[in-house]
Structure 1
Amino acid sequence: MTVPVVLIGFGLGMVGGPFADMALAKVPHGNAGSDSGLFNTAMHLGIALGTALTSLVFFSATGGSPDGAINREAFTAVLWWVGGTLAVMWALMFFLPEHTKSQAG
């Protein structure tokens, strides 16, 4: 369980910084605070939605059963689902526009 979770965390960590930089690169200096707050709110909404969808996949696979084998299979299914989603997001990053200089700098 540790290796997949660490790999997913590493992947999310590698995406988070560049994504914030790219999203806020063209924001005028006067609007940086508001846009940063909006960006963080959107990120937290995405995390909450991702957690809810992951929980939905997990509990739909277990059916609420306390059986360890069923929970293990559901956890494996969730890891594949999350890993696949992250792989698709990683592939889509190559279609993002190239980084430009910030207007604030």
Structure 2
Amino acid sequence: MSPIQAALAFVLITVGEMAGVMVTMKTAGRYGRRLPQTGALIALLATAAYGLQISSSEADLSLPAMAAPLLLLGLAFGTIGGPLADLSLSRVPHENAGSASGLFNTSIHLGMALGTALTALVFFSITGGSPSAAVNREAFTHVLWWIGGAFAAMWALMFLLPTRTSSKTD
């Protein structure tokens, strides 16, 4: 991909994420953990579809061919990220809210750093630094299956979240 095409791919994810956040804002917590769980399932399905699309295609993928999976991934990220903080921190006492929020944000950043490092580790362990398009395609597809597994685990772990956010008047 050219730098412009790569930038447009990130724009597609961002547009999808904005749509997911708008869905989250409009539902205002009515669905509790079901909304981020749905987002995790959408992300899993989009990742699987993307992996199948890449592994079955001999030609290079174009940005239009990647648009649907990227938009769906963004939508999923928006529906996961929006309510996750509220659900995770809903039962924290008010006097501990600052510390809990800091711990939550630190955990999110740690997860992003570890996720990036681990996916790079898997990718480069397969490619061995090879510039071959076929080897890179195989490595990228392999990484997508790992990421799909992480989304499945995320979905399952969300059953540990409260069913709904508790209001301060409860």
Per the alignment, do residues 59 and 3 of structure 1 end up closer, same or farther by CA in structure 2, a change over 3 Å counting? farther
Per the alignment, do residues 104 and 53 of structure 1 end up closer, same or farther by CA in structure 2, a change over 3 Å counting? farther
Preserved CA contact (<8 Å) 1:27 1:102: no
Structure 2: which amino acid aligns with 1:34? S
* 2:120 matches 1:55: yes
Higher relative contact order (CA 8 A, sep 6+): 1
Distance in 1, Cα, partners of 2:169 & 2:106 = 22
Q: Specify the alignment match of 1:85 in structure 2.
A: 150
Structure 2: which amino acid aligns with 1:44? H
Q: CA deviation at 1:50?
A: 0.8
Preserved CA contact (<8 Å) 1:22 1:99: yes
CA RMSD in angstroms comes to 2.3
Distance in 1, Cα, partners of 2:166 & 2:92 = 11
Q: Specify the alignment match of 2:11 in structure 1.
A: none
Q: Specify the alignment match of 2:83 in structure 1.
A: 18
User: CA offsets, 1:25-65, max 9 Å, x none?
Assistant: 01122222221111100110011111111111101111111
Q: CA deviation at 1:100?
A: 4.5
Matches within 5 A, 1:34-53: 34-53=99-118
SS in 1 for 2:166: coil
Q: Specify the alignment match of 2:164 in structure 1.
A: 99
Unaligned runs of 5+ in 2: 1-65
> Alignment identity in percent?
65
Distance in 1, Cα, partners of 2:75 & 2:123 = 22
Deviates more, 1:64-73 or 1:87-96: 87-96
Preserved CA contact (<8 Å) 1:62 1:71: yes
Structure 1: which amino acid aligns with 2:138? E
Question: TM-score of the superposition, structure 1-length normalised?
Answer: 0.80
Unaligned runs of 5+ in 1: none
Question: TM-score of the superposition, structure 2-length normalised?
Answer: 0.53
Q: CA deviation at 1:17?
A: 2.2
Preserved CA contact (<8 Å) 2:127 2:135: yes
Preserved CA contact (<8 Å) 2:123 2:139: yes
Total equivalences in the alignment: 105
Q: Specify the alignment match of 2:39 in structure 1.
A: none
